[in-house]
């Protein structure tokens, strides 16, 4: 039982670290004065992804087992799409590397790698928020204050909705949708708004996406149970 709890804690720490790194990395190389910082953070995220998949390897074993309802189809599809985006990000990042992986001497495919990195990073961000929403119920159930009827608990339960309102504004002002569909072939970092506001904006976008899909997931779960 102690080992199980230890693994559970490690999983949560890795998941949190991956989310934080994802937010920071969305700023691209312009968010840091030294390009190498972005590359090392990307490398750290890739390593955490490897550990994440090892710790959650039972997911792959369960893909061809059991029955599929609407919710499970979406969950598996999102997870597989997220894995594909993560792989594409890591591969394109290695090709574009000017520091950490420069020793590999990769010179071909730069143009494709830039496009892939830009588009995949933003779809990855949407999918990781979606992925988080699928497990949000389990994660939040471990927080005692959210389970009681206190005023603090009620406020915290409403907080994602409040942040999501700002997230809509941030999604529009940052032109997030442009990168998803390659309507803008380069990443624009608004220096005047600064790094702190960038992190706030992209964090709110994460909360927005996770909140929307959390409620959609609950609706799908409800209808999936009704159809059994």
Tokens of 202: 């992209």
The whole-angstrom separation of Cα 159 and Cα 210 is 13
What b/e string do you get for 136-161 counting C-beta neighbours within 10 Å, with b at 16 or more? beeeeeeeeeeeeeeeeeeeeeeebe
Residue-wise pLDDT tens digits, 54-80: 998 998 989 989 888 878 888 899 999
Please give the model's pTM, rounded to 2 decimal places. 0.88
pLDDT in tens, 85-110: 999 999 999 999 999 999 999 988 99
Range in 132-141, 168-177, 193-202, 204-213 with the lowest mean pLDDT: 132-141
CB atoms within 10 A of CB 106: 14
């Amino acid at each position: 039982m102690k080992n199980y709890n230890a693994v559970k804690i490690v999983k949560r720490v890795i998941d949190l670290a991956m989310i934080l790194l994802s937010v920071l990395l969305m700023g691209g190389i312009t968010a840091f004065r030294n390009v190498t910082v972005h590359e090392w953070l990307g490398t750290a995220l890739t390593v955490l992804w490897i550990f994440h998949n090892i710790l959650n390897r039972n997911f792959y074993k369960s893909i061809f087992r059991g029955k599929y309802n609407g919710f499970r189809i979406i969950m598996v599809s999102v997870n597989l799409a997220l894995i594909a985006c993560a792989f594409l990000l890591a591969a394109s990042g290695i090709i574009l590397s000017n520091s950490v992986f420069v020793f590999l001497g990769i010179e071909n495919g730069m143009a494709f790698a830039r496009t892939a990195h830009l588009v995949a990073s933003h779809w990855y961000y949407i999918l990781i928020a979606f992925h988080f929403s699928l497990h949000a119920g389990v994660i939040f159930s471990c927080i005692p204050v959210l389970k009681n009827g206190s005023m603090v608990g009620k406020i915290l339960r409403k907080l994602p909705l409040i942040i999501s309102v700002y997230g809509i504004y941030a999604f529009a002002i940052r032109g997030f949708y442009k990168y998803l569909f390659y309507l803008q072939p380069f990443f624009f970092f608004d220096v005047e708004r600064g790094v702190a506001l960038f992190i706030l904006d992209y964090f709110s976008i994460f909360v927005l996406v996770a909140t929307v899909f959390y409620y959609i997931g609950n609706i799908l779960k409800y209808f999936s149970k009704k159809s059994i």
